[in-house]
Amino acid sequence: MVALGLIRAMVAFGVAWESDSPRTGLVQRAFLVPGMLWTAAVISL
């Protein structure tokens, strides 16, 4: 449950950032997605 919440928050944050600046949103997600997925995996263990 916590992992799903983190992923949803990350996606919403990425979409909001991308609407402000497409390039920044893309770069932000490129770095943030792997980190959030790793965090979600660790929390779910």
Give the DSSP per-residue string, 14-44: HHHHHHH-HHHHHHHHHHHHHHHHHHHHHHH
- Give the whole-angstrom CA distance, residue 17 versus residue 5: 18
Q: 6-43 pLDDT, tens per residue?
A: 777 777 776 666 566 666 667 777 787 788 888 888 88
The pTM (predicted TM-score) of the whole model is: 0.39
Name the residue ranges covered by the structural domains of the chain: 2-44
- Give the whole-angstrom CA distance, residue 33 versus residue 17: 14
